[in-house]
Amino acid sequence: MTDTRSKGKAALADEAFSKRLEAAIRDVPDFPKPGIVFKDITPVLLDPPLFDDTIAELARWTSVWEASKVIGVDARGFLFAAPVANRLGIGLVPVRKMGKLPHRTEREAYDLEYGSAELEIHVDAIEPGERVAVIDDLLATGGSSHAAARLVERLGGVVAGLGFVIELGFLDGRARLAGYDCASLVRYE
């Protein structure tokens, strides 16, 4: 099912584009564990025009949100956030799993669909008052995105918006992100 709802300033994606994107996303049953249907974005990455259109849409949202930096959430979020930052000429901030960043960090624990984890950000990555867009490939339970947003706020930044390639609406991750402007290119119910 395609649904590109946004709670706020990010306008809806073109329906034809969303359908192309949805058709390219591959379901992988029982990965990473039994009962999970993994949404594989590899076919999107292998299709340069589709990948470019995906980046263009995420960049459009980031621009509408007036963000001066983009966060890429470890690890697949990096694949989308880096080209968005590059396209817009703004900074890229990696938010990584615990123990992967070399400098002093802030840390935030969170629960996810099939476990728990912690994310970290460099303490000097965001200036007070700076507007930051959080980009990730998938919104599931909202745990990692909420953790990234809390890290931005802990450093004094403002979460301008959160953009996702895929949203698993049946997991109700948006509820955890209440109060933030969220947008997704493809939504599954």
Which residue out of 76, 96, 131, 176 is catalytically annotated? 76
Contact between residue 118 and residue 98 where contact means Cβ atoms under 8 Å apart: yes
DSSP state of 122: E
Facing residues of 54 across strands?
none
Tell me if residue 76 is catalytic.
Answer: yes
3-state helix, strand, coil in the chain (%, to 5): 35, 35, 35
- Contacts of residue 34, defined as CB under 8 A and 6 or more positions apart, other chains included, come to none
Half-sphere exposure of 25 (CA within 13 A, CB side): 23
State the Cα–Cα distance between residues 181 and 174, nearest whole angstrom. 10
Which residue out of 113, 118, 150, 154 is catalytically annotated? 113
State the Cα–Cα distance between residues 67 and 44, nearest whole angstrom. 25
* Residues recognised as catalytic: 76, 113
